Structure 1
Amino acid sequence: MSSWNTQIARLFAEQKNALQAFVARRTGSAQVAADLTQKSFLRLARLPPDKQIDNLPAFLFTIASNLVRDHQRQMIRRERLDGGEPSDELPCASPGADEQLAAQQEQALMHDAIQALPEATRHIFLLYHVDECTYREIGARLNVTPRSVEYQLRRALIECRAYIQARLASDAGGKRP
């Protein structure tokens, strides 16, 4: 095996995992990282053996970084192409007045449903859905078991659903002539 091939083989053994992790962080995909890592080593191996490279690992990471950038550009291009031709009649990005009113009414109804919950259940519901606490965190704060937290959340959803259905039924009943 030539000296250049030996250097590449040694570099592969030493840097493959680190390079793949580096690429995975930048692309968010283990499969893409594996492909681009392999391409990086292939590009390095195809360089002429007499080419002077002072820092081979740094050069390898530069190759990988350039491949990641090319990959990201290609993905952006694909997304643009897959989006189809722009229409002459583009819809307005902001919702209309009727959509805004419906959203406000839904939000008010949900707020009323949450306020109608028993205080302890409402507190657990808000810790989970607003503060994004886990069952264990809520249990630790309130000195209850995570299973109890799960039960209270299930109860909250059932009661909110029942409240909303009852309100919608009564509102629909009141509007009929």
Structure 2
Amino acid sequence: MPSWNKQIARLFTEQKKALEAFVTRRTGSAQVAADLTQESFLRLARLESGQKIDNLPAFLFTIASNLVRDHQRQAMRRERLEVGEPSEELPCDSPSAVEQLSADQEQSLMQDAIRALPEATRQIFLLYHVDEYSYREIAERLAISPRSVEYQLRRALIDCRAFIQARLAGDVRGSRP
């Protein structure tokens, strides 16, 4: 029967890649897998050579599986310590009803402000901000200068801002019925 060190060396050459792939699948990290694979072989090598192990590869994979489980437990503990205890509120990516209502009101207010613009200014504003035309494309389409487009866009922003401020201040003069 070959010596214990020779058995470990042979097992290392035969099983290292398979064991590393196994651990990588379980941990999702090649670096962690390399570390745990090495630790698995070290723990196997530290066993007394007199111990009878019927299936060395299976025993090695069991060691690795236990190391993966330990690693995942430690990661969960670290995460709990960093994040703190879970709150009773579950995180939610969708906006709350209040946030949705606020967004709807803001959108409605902006639409009212755009509708209040003079027709030519509104058309330029929409071509630029909605249809994403350039100054030059708008100027060519409407047969005006790019400078006029720039002026109209600046005017539209000033008028929209004034409309919104007036509406928020409760001044009905700045809004349409």
Q: TM-score, normalised by structure 1?
A: 0.56
Q: Aligned equivalents of 1:97 and 1:53: distance in 2? A: 63
Instruction: Name the SS for the 1:51 alignment partner.
Output: coil
- Cα offsets for 1:115-162 (capped at 9, x unmatched): xxxxxxxxxxxxxxxxxxxxxxxxxxxxxxxxxxxxxxxxxxxx9993
Corresponding residue to 2:130 among 143, 163, 167 = 163
What is the match of residue 20 of structure 1? 20
Question: Residue 175 and residue 107 in structure 1: after superposition, are their counterparts in 2 closer, same or farther (change >3 A)?
Answer: closer
Shift of 1:28: 0.9
Instruction: Give matches, 1:26-41, under 5 Å.
Output: 26-41=26-41
Match of 1:175 in 2: 164
**Amino acid paired to 1:162:** H
- SS at 2:101 equivalent: helix
Quote the residue 1:139 is aligned against: none
Separation in structure 2 between the aligned mates of residue 162 and residue 68 of structure 1, nearest angstrom: 53
Q: Distance in 2 between matches of 1:78 and 1:44?
A: 27
Q: 1:172 to 1:38 in 2, by over 3 A?
A: same
**SS of equivalent to 1:52:** coil
Look up the equivalent residue of 1:41 and give its one-letter code. Answer: F
| Residue 81 (structure 1) shift | 0.6
Cα distance between partner residues in 2 of 1:53 and 1:4 = 11
Whole-angstrom CA distance in 2 between matches of 1:17 and 1:161 = 58
Deviation, 1:100, is 2.5
Q: 1:176 to 1:17 in 2, by over 3 A?
A: same
Correspondence for 1:81: 81
Give the structure 2 partner of residue 152 of structure 1.
Answer: none
CA distance in 2, matches of 1:10, 1:160: 73
CA distance in 1, matches of 2:79, 2:68: 16
Point out where structure 1 has 5 or more consecutive residues left out of the alignment.
109-158
After TM superposition, the structure 1 = structure 2 runs for residues 21-170 of structure 1, keeping only pairs within 5 Å, are: 21-84=21-84, 93=91, 96-102=96-102, 162-163=129-130
TM-score (norm 2): 0.56
Between the aligned partners of 1:58 and 1:86, the Cα distance in structure 2 is 38
Question: In 2 relative to 1, CA 77–8 (structure 1 residues): closer, same or farther, beyond 3 Å?
Answer: same
- Secondary structure of the residue that 2:130 maps to in structure 1? helix
2-structure distance, mates of 1:29, 1:104: 43
Q: How many residues align?
A: 123
Deviation at 1:99, TM superposition (A): 1.2
- Partner letter of residue 163 of structure 1? V
Q: Aligned AA for 2:164? A: K
